């Protein structure tokens, strides 16, 4: 089941870093993101290998993984850029779900310092 029809413009796959880590070890954050997006590109560009690996890891049939591959790949960012509409959905949900008493400013939620990520 997917929720795209119910909650469009929603980012499922996000990476979080503590402000302290960003401040004290930005090179580590940058290297982690480069690794993450290298793997994402591999998954996008090597469908057959990805299906085989994910099926083995999750102990599911390759048929099931193949049927969901396009959905999962379609939800991924390949450079770390966020859709402004999706950021708005996240801002609204933080207040609606009682996680935050106020809707945080986008600048408080998203640090664009490390994106877009360019891989070789």
Burial class (CB in 10 A: 0-12, 13-18, 19+), 34: middle
pLDDT digits (tens, 9 = 90+) for 20-48: 999 999 999 999 999 999 999 999 999 99
Query: For the chain, what is the domain count?
Result: 1
- Whether the pLDDT of residue 51 is over 80: the answer is yes
Q: List the CATH number of the domain containing 84.
A: 3.40.190.10
Q: Examine residue 76 and state whether it is found in any structural domain, yes or no.
A: yes
119 domain residue, yes or no: no
Q: Is residue 9 part of a domain?
A: no
pLDDT of residue 118: 80
120 lies in a domain? no
- 103 falls within a domain: yes
Residue 7 domain-assigned (yes or no): no
Look up the domain containing 82 and give its range: 19-114
- Cα–Cα distance measured from residue 82 to residue 14, given in angstroms and rounded to the nearest whole number: 9
Domain for residue 4, yes or no? Answer: no
Radius of gyration of the chain (CA): 16
Confidence of residue 120 (pLDDT cuts 50, 70, 90): low
The model's pLDDT over 55-99, given as tens digits with 9 standing for 90+, comes to 999 999 999 999 999 988 988 889 888 888 988 888 888 889 998
What is the pTM for the complete model shown?
0.79
């Amino acid at each position: 089941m997917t929720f795209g029809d119910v909650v469009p413009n929603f980012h499922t796959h996000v990476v979080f870093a503590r402000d302290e880590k960003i401040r004290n070890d930005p090179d580590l954050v940058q290297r982690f993101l480069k690794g993450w997006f290298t793997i994402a590109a591999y998954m996008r560009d090597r469908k057959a290998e990805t299906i085989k690996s994910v099926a083995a890891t999750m102990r599911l049939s390759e048929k099931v993984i193949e049927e969901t591959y396009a959905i999962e790949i379609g939800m991924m960012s390949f450079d770390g850029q966020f859709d402004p509409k999706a950021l708005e959905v996240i801002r609204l949900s933080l207040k609606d779900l009682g996680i935050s008493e106020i809707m945080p400013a986008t600048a408080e939620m998203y640090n664009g310092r490390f994106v877009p990520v360019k891989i070789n």
